[in-house]
């Protein structure tokens, strides 16, 4: 319990034991209050009636000593306050040196150039790699165009156009399946649903095969060389033959379904091989016509899904993709450079504003320091005056009640107070520093536009290093590679 009690007593009493540093304005010496607290008038009357202090006394009386003690205590509190205040102000003043910030702002262009160079150096390998790939792809394309005597640009659907081609392919399968569903439903126990399933499968085969032939084989008919050109025309003939065979096969399959043969697929194949052009009725010929028409449509859909010259579209897209990748990386670096430039200019503005604000605060702190010194001097002078007033109050009252007993000689003089050393509130060094900082701010203001111009010039220089691909390969087709 003893330890706990000591801790509790420390917690509850520590605040009261802290020395109070009396602010002169908040704790002025109240002459009347001290006189009342010390019962100065009563003590002077009592001692005077007793003929005290004695006429030959050389030492001040007890009430006077109490007054001196009170005044000395107030003077020491004022000095302690002055020391604390001076320490706070000096600390704040020491933190307001703008020299480093201003010098850094004056070198904002050099800092920007350093950061920009570091950024470009960091990404140099990536940009060079992408640029090399793009150059190789373009060289590959130029060699292909030269070899195949192509002077035009590749024509192929892009974006939504490419999606549309495959959407048409799916639509052809669905529409053909829907149109053929009724024909197949006539020979199936599952009715229209079963007919749509069978028709959808057949339509997928018909449309898919035609699309692939149109996309990958028939374009060779446009080839510059004779042999591939012949193969392209052969592919066209094969495509027409395949579409005809698929259409006839579908029609024969429908005939087998309507004849309710147990194995319609085998029967259709046998009938196709034996008599390919012998169909049972008009509906089978209509089914053949529909299949052939949709096959032809998917053939053209596949043919125009890419450039009409074989491989020209894929090589062009590959070159374009490589150029786009290179340009995208360059754009990323350009944006990063823009951000660095904006950061440098914004930092310059911020540094100038902060420097001006800090100088104003620095000047205000100097004024506060001067005012604090003046306040302390005034407080000490007031303390001397208060001492004089209190002693005069005591001695006047004492003389009135001495009943003719001579007063002591020391009543004509003031007691000596304990010497104190007030802190120095000299501001000469701070005023010199203020003038230097004002000069720095003035220099920064005068150089601001020049620094901005140097940042912009450095930005332009670094930006110009990021050349697009057409800069390295100038040609009449350069616009093809611009985005």
Residue 370 has pLDDT above 50, yes or no: yes
Residue 180: pLDDT band (50, 70, 90) is low
φ, ψ of residue 276 in degrees (nearest 5): -60, -30
Residue 379 has pLDDT above 60, yes or no: yes
Same domain, 299 and 345: no
Residue 369 has pLDDT above 90, yes or no: yes
Q: Which of 159-168, 174-183, 218-227, 441-450 has the lowest mean pLDDT?
A: 174-183
What is the arithmetic mean of pLDDT over 219-240?
Answer: 88
Q: Which of 7-16, 134-143, 474-483 has the lowest mean pLDDT?
A: 474-483
Same domain, 388 and 466: yes
Residue 199: pLDDT band (50, 70, 90) is low
Last residue of a domain, one of 242, 270, 305: 305
What's the pLDDT at 9? 52
Assigned domain for 346 exists: yes
Same domain, 471 and 333: yes
Note down the domain range covering 74: 22-99+329-481
Structure tokens at 259: 């004849």
Same domain, 90 and 191: no
Assigned domain for 37 exists: yes
Percent of the chain clearing pLDDT 70 (strictly above): 80
Q: Which of 51-55, 141-145, 240-244, 473-477 has the lowest mean pLDDT?
A: 473-477
More confident residue, 333 or 244: 333
- Per the structure, the count of domains in the chain is 2
Assigned domain for 109 exists: no
Among 456, 430, 436, 454, residue whose Cα is nearest residue 100: 436
Assigned domain for 116 exists: no
Last residue of a domain, one of 270, 305, 340: 305
Same domain, 333 and 477: yes
Q: Which of 2-11, 49-58, 106-115, 366-375 has the lowest mean pLDDT?
A: 2-11
Assigned domain for 118 exists: no
Cα gap 292→239, rounded to integer Å: 11
Same domain, 333 and 459: yes
What's the pLDDT at 347? 92
Same domain, 197 and 85: no
Same domain, 273 and 395: no
Residue 265: pLDDT band (50, 70, 90) is low
Cα gap 279→183, rounded to integer Å: 14
CA angle 440, 443, 447 (to 5 degrees): 140
Residue 456 has pLDDT above 90, yes or no: yes
Q: Which of 164-173, 227-236, 413-422, 431-440 has the lowest mean pLDDT?
A: 164-173
What's the pLDDT at 395? 92
What's the pLDDT at 89? 92
What's the pLDDT at 3? 56
More confident residue, 292 or 101: 101
Same domain, 275 and 337: no
Assigned domain for 58 exists: yes
Name 482's Cβ contacts closer than 8 Å, sequence gap at least 6. Answer: 468, 470
Same domain, 403 and 461: yes
Same domain, 423 and 296: no
Residue 29: pLDDT band (50, 70, 90) is confident
What's the pLDDT at 363? 93
What's the pLDDT at 214? 83
Question: Concatenated DSSP letters for 287-308?
Answer: HHHHHHHHHHHHHHHHHTTS-S
What's the pLDDT at 478? 41
What's the pLDDT at 271? 74
Assigned domain for 132 exists: no
Last residue of a domain, one of 249, 273, 305: 305
Assigned domain for 15 exists: no
What is the arithmetic mean of pLDDT over 277-306?
Answer: 77
Q: 58-82, pLDDT tens digit by residue?
A: 899 999 999 999 999 999 999 999 9
What is the arithmetic mean of pLDDT over 225-243?
Answer: 87
- 278-284 own/partner pairs: CB under 8 Å, 24+ apart: 279/248, 279/251, 279/252, 279/255, 280/255, 281/255, 283/183, 283/186, 283/254, 284/183, 284/251, 284/252, 284/254, 284/255
Q: 433-447, pLDDT tens digit by residue?
A: 999 999 999 999 999
Same domain, 288 and 354: no
What's the pLDDT at 196? 52
Which pTM does this prediction carry? 0.63
What's the pLDDT at 361? 93
Cα 350 from chain centroid (whole Å): 18
Residue 257: pLDDT band (50, 70, 90) is low
Residue 146 has pLDDT above 90, yes or no: yes
Residue 178: pLDDT band (50, 70, 90) is low
Residue 475: pLDDT band (50, 70, 90) is very low
Residue 13 has pLDDT above 80, yes or no: no
Cα gap 215→152, rounded to integer Å: 20
Residue 350: pLDDT band (50, 70, 90) is very high
Name 256's Cβ contacts closer than 8 Å, sequence gap at least 6. Answer: 187, 264, 265, 267, 268, 271
């Amino acid at each position: 319990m003893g330890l706990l009690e000591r801790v509790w007593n420390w917690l509850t009493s520590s605040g009261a034991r802290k020395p109070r540093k009396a602010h002169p304005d908040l704790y002025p010496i109240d002459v009347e209050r001290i006189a009342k607290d010390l019962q100065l008038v009563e003590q002077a009357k009592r001692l005077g009636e007793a003929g005290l202090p004695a006429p030959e006394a050389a030492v001040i009386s007890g009430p006077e000593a109490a007054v001196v003690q009170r005044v000395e205590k107030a003077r020491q509190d004022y000095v302690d306050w002055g020391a604390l205040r001076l320490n706070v102000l000096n600390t704040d003043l020491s933190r307001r040196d703008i020299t480093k910030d201003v010098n850094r702002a004056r070198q904002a262009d050099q800092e920007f150039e350093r950061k920009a160079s570091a950024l470009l150096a960091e990404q140099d390998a990536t940009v060079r790699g992408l640029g090399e790939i793009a150059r190789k792809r373009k060289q590959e394309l130029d060699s292909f165009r030269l070899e195949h005597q192509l002077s035009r640009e590749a024509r192929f659907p892009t974006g939504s156009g490419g999606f549309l081609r495959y959407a048409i392919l799916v639509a052809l399968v669905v529409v053909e399946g829907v149109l053929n569903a009724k024909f197949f439903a006539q020979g199936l126990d599952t009715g229209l649903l079963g007919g749509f399933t069978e028709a959808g499968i057949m339509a997928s085969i018909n449309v898919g095969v035609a699309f692939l032939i149109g996309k990958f084989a028939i374009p060779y008919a446009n080839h510059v060389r004779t042999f591939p050109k012949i193969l392209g025309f052969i592919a066209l003939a094969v495509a027409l033959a395949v579409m005809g065979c698929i259409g006839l096969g579908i029609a024969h399959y429908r005939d087998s379904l309507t004849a309710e043969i147990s194995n319609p697929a085998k029967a259709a194949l046998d009938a196709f091989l034996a008599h390919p052009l012998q169909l049972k009725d008009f509906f089978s010929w209509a089914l053949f016509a529909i299949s052939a028409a949709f096959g032809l449509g998917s053939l053209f859909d596949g043919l125009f899904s890419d450039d009409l010259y074989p491989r020209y579209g894929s090589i062009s897209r590959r070159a374009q993709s490589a150029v786009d990748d290179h340009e995208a990386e360059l754009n990323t670096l350009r944006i990063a450079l823009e951000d660095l430039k904006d950061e440098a200019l914004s930092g310059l503005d911020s540094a100038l504003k902060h420097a001006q604000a800090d100088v104003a605060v620095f000047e205000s702190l100097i004024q506060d320091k001067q005012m604090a010194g003046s306040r302390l001097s005034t407080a000490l002078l007031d303390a001397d005056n208060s001492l004089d007033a209190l002693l005069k109050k005591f001695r006047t009252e004492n003389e009135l009640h001495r009943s003719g007993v001579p007063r002591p000689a020391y009543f004509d003089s003031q007691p000596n107070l304990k010497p104190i050393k007030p802190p120095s509130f000299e501001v000469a060094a701070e005023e010199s520093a203020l003038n230097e900082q004002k000069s720095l701010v003035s220099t920064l203001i005068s150089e601001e536009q020049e620094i901005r111009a140097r940042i912009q010039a450095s930005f332009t220089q670094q930006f110009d290093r990021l050349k697009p691909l057409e800069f390295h390969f100038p040609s009449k087709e350069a616009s093809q590679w611009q985005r």
